[in-house]
Chain A
Amino acid sequence: MTRPVASEQAVFELLDAAATAVLGVDATTTIRYANPRSLEVFGYAEHELVGKPVELLIPGDLAEKHVPLREEFWHRPIARSLAESPTVRGRRKDGSEFAAEVALTPMTTLDGPWVIASVLDVSLRREAEELVNQQGRTYMALARLNEAVATAPDANALFRRVCNVSVVYGGFAGAWILSRGRDSSIEVLANAGPLTSKLAMASADSPSLSHYVSAEVDQVVEQGHGFPTAVSTLMTGEPAFVDDFAAEDTAHATQAEAFGVRAAAAVPLRSRGRTVACLGLYSDRPRVFNEDLRALLLGAADTISLGLDRFVAWAELDSSLAQRNDLLQRLVDAQERERARIAADVHDESVQSLAAVDLRLGLLERRLQELAPSLVPDVVRIHETVTSVSDQLRHLLFELEPVGPGALLTDLLEEAAAHVFEPTDVDWRIDNEPDPREQDLSVTLRTQAVRIAKEAMVNAAKHAAAGIVTISVALDDEGVTVQVADDGVGIPPGVRQSPPGHRGISGMRDRAEATGGRLTIASTAPGTTVTVWLPRD
C-alpha cells in the first residue's frame, strides 16, 4: 500500500500543529522553517530564526563539532530517529542551554533537499535520571559503609575503607579521616581520592599547602591554611559544611578553588561520646551537601562511631582477659613456689625429725623388751602415732612437691594416682603408654596437668565411691588432653559451680584457664569424666 502524496503546504500545516519543536533546514544549513513549538523552546520570534544558520541554536563549543557532522549527513542523508539520537545540547536565545535529543528526516522539497529536525527537550528527564543514579550511588555507598563497619578488623582498616567508599561510591574528589595529634597538630589517619594526589604534588613546591593536612590547628584557623571544615569539626565536635568556596572571599576559599574544590563537609567521628576524629569530604561541585546528604552523612558518622566503640570494647575485653590470665598465671606460679618452699621445710624439718624419732622409738622398744617388757605396749602405741603422722607428712610432701624437670606426664600421673589411691580400695589404671613427645611439654604445663588431674583423682577417691578410675594422656598438635574417668556416683547437680568453701572444681578450672586451656566435666550416672585440655607453649 502506498501512502497518499500530501502537498508541501499540507505537511507544513501538520508540522505547525506538532507538539514537538520542528525546524526545516536547507543544504546551506539555513533555517527555512520553524514551527510555533520550536519558537517557544528556543525563545525566538519566527523572523529571528528563519533565514539564520542552524548553528545559532547550538552552544558555541559544540557548533564547531557540528560542522563535519552536518556535512556527513548531507553527503549521505539518512533518517535518524529520536531513539538513535545522542544527547546533545541546545541553546536558547537567552544563552541558557538544555539537554536535547534530535531526530533528523531528509525531505525533498520544490526548493531542493531539506532536513526536518525534531528537537526534544530532555533536560527534565535527564535530571530525573541523574537523581535516580545519584540516589543509587548514595545507597550503594551507605551499604558499603555498613559493610565496612561490620567487617573491618580494626579502626585503621575501617578508616581506609570509609575513605575508599566515599570516593568510589560517593563520587567525592577527596576523603580524609583526620584526628588531632599531640601538640595540636592534625594527623591524617586515612585518605583517598584524586584530590589527595593533587595536594601531595602541590605541597611539594608550595609549602603553605602542605598545611592543608598537616597544619597546626592555630595556623589553619588564624592564617587560613587549608580547608577549615575538618579543623572546625575537630575543635568543636560539631559537623561543618561549606556550600560553595567560590561564593566566599577568604584565603581558604582561594586555596580550595585552586584545587577545583567547590564544597566541603566534615562530620565528627566519636568513640565513647568523645570526638576522636573527623571524616572530611571534598567535592568539585558546589552545593552538593544538601539537607538530604547532610542527614545521610551524619547517620554514616554515627554508624562509624558505633564501629569505633566496638573496637574499644573489644580492646578492653582483650586486655581485661589478658590481665585476668596474667594474674591467674602469676597466682599459680606463686602457689607453686610457696608449695615448693613448704615442701622443703616439711622434708628438711618435720620428716627428718620424725624419721629420727621413729628410729629411736624402735631402739627404745628393743631395749624395753629386755629391761621392762610391761612398758613396751605404751611405747608401741606412741610409735604407731608417730608412724601415722610420718605417713601423713610423706603424703603432704608428695602433694607439695614441685613437678620434677624431665619426667614424662604419664609417669607423673601414675605417681600421683599411686599416692592418691594408696589408702583406698580404688582400682586404678593408666590407659596409655607414655608418648615420647611428652618430653617436650613445659614444666608449667605438666605441673598444671598433674595438679588438675590429682584434684580430679582426689574427688573420685573422696566423693565418687568409685570402683575403677581410668587415667589417660593424649597429645595432639596444639596441646595435651588429660582425662580422669571414674565409675562412681557422679556429681550432684550444682556442685559443678563449687559451693562456698569448695575450691575443688573452680580451682581446676582456674588452673586450666590460666594456661589458656579448658576443663570439661561430664557427669553421667554412673561415673564422672574430667577432661582437661592444655595448650603447648
Chain B
Amino acid sequence: MSIRTVVGDDDSRFRAAVIEVLGADARFAVVGEAADGAELLNVATTTHPDLILLDVRMPSGGAVAARALTGANGDPGRWSTRPLVVAVSADTTPEVVASMLQAGAVGFLAKGRLGATLPDVLVRMVEGEVVVAVPTGIHALRHLLQHRREPAGVPDGPPEEQPEEP
C-alpha cells in the first residue's frame, strides 16, 4: 500500500519536481497538490492523505496551516486519521524550525538539500521517525526546550489569510 501524499507549495517548479520524484517511487502515490494553505486544507480533507509536504512560506501556509492539519490548534475538524505534516523551506532559522515542530510537524526539510534522499527520508518519517534535516536543527531543539512558551511572532502569515474550515 503506497503512501498517499499531498504536496503544498506555491512554486510550481518545485511542486512539479517533488511530484515527479515521488511519482517515480512505487512507495508513494501523490493524491493532490496545492499552492496555498487554504487550498491545501481543502485538498487534504477530501483526499485523506497519509503525508503532507507543507511549504513554510507559501500564502497561508507555515505554522497556521500546520496547526490546522495536525489539530494542534485545538480544532477537531472532520478527520478520520490525521495526516503527517512535513515542513519544507529554504528558511531554516532556529525559530522557524522550532515553530513548525511546535505546530505538530514531524520533520523539517531544507529546500535545496533534499537530493536523492527525499523518498527515503519521507518513508522514515511515516515509519515514526522525526527528521529535522537542517544544519540549524540543534539550535531549533534548544530553542524549543528553552522557550517553553507560546512562540511570539512565529511566521503565522497574515491573519486575514486564516485557512477556512471546509
Interface residues in chain A, defined as those with a beta carbon under 8 Å from any beta carbon in chain B: 347-348, 351-363, 365-367, 383, 386-387, 390-391, 393-394, 397-398, 401, 404-408, 411-412, 414-415, 418-419, 422, 433-434, 439
Contact = CB atoms under 8 A, between A and B. Distances in A.
B116 to A, nearest CB: 3
Contacts of B139: 414-415, 418
A391 B152 contact: no
B153 interface: yes
Contacts of B114: 355, 358-359, 362
Interface string B1-42: 000000000010110111011001000000000000000000
A390 B113 contact: yes
Given A353-B13, A362-B116, A365-B116, A415 B111 contact: no
B117 A414 contact: no
Nearest to B135: A422
B115 A387 contact: yes
B116 A351 contact: no
25 contacts: A354-B112, A355-B90, A356-B13, A358-B115, A359-B21, A359-B118, A363-B20, A363-B116, A365-B116, A367-B24, A390-B113, A394-B112, A397-B90, A398-B91, A398-B93, A407-B95, A407-B153, A408-B153, A411-B152, A412-B95, A414-B94, A414-B143, A415-B93, A418-B136, A422-B136
Given A407-B95, A408-B152, A383 B115 contact: yes
B155 interface: yes
Given A359-B17, A362-B115, A362-B117, A407 B152 contact: yes
Nearest to A389: B112
Contacts of B21: 359-360, 362-363
A356 B14 contact: yes
Contacts of B111: 351-352, 355, 358, 390, 394
Contact of A391 (B113, B118, B147, B155): B113
Given A347-B57, A418-B136, A366 B116 contact: yes
Chain B contact patch, size range: 20 to 34
Nearest to A401: B91
A419 B13 CA distance: 27
A360 B20 contact: yes
B51 to A, nearest CB: 16
Given A347-B57, A356-B14, A394 B90 contact: yes
Contacts of A394: 90-92, 110-112
A297 B161 CA distance: 76
A367 B117 CA distance: 13
Nearest to A411: B95
Given A363-B116, A387-B113, A393-B112, A406 B153 contact: yes
Contact of B11 (A352, A358, A366): A352
Contacts of A405: 153
A393 B91 CA distance: 10
Instruction: Give 5 nearest A-B pairs by CB, closest first.
Output: A406-B153, A390-B112, A362-B116, A355-B111, A356-B17
B153 to A, nearest CB: 2
Q: Choose among A361, A393, A398, A415 the residue with the greatest number of B CB atoms under 10 Å from its CB.
A: A415
Contacts of A407: 95, 152-153
Contacts of A383: 115-116
A362 B14 CA distance: 13
Given A356-B17, A359-B21, A362-B115, 18 more contacts: A347-B57, A348-B11, A351-B90, A354-B112, A356-B11, A356-B13, A359-B114, A360-B20, A361-B115, A361-B116, A362-B117, A362-B118, A363-B17, A363-B20, A366-B116, A397-B91, A401-B91, A407-B153
A354 B114 CA distance: 11
Interface string B104-141: 00000011111111100000000000000001100100
Nearest to A380: B116
Contacts of B13: 352-353, 356
A361 to B, nearest CB: 7
A248 to B, nearest CB: 82
B147 A352 contact: no
Q: Choose among A406, A408, A414, A418 the residue with the greatest number of B CB atoms under 10 Å from its CB.
A: A418
A489 B106 CA distance: 43
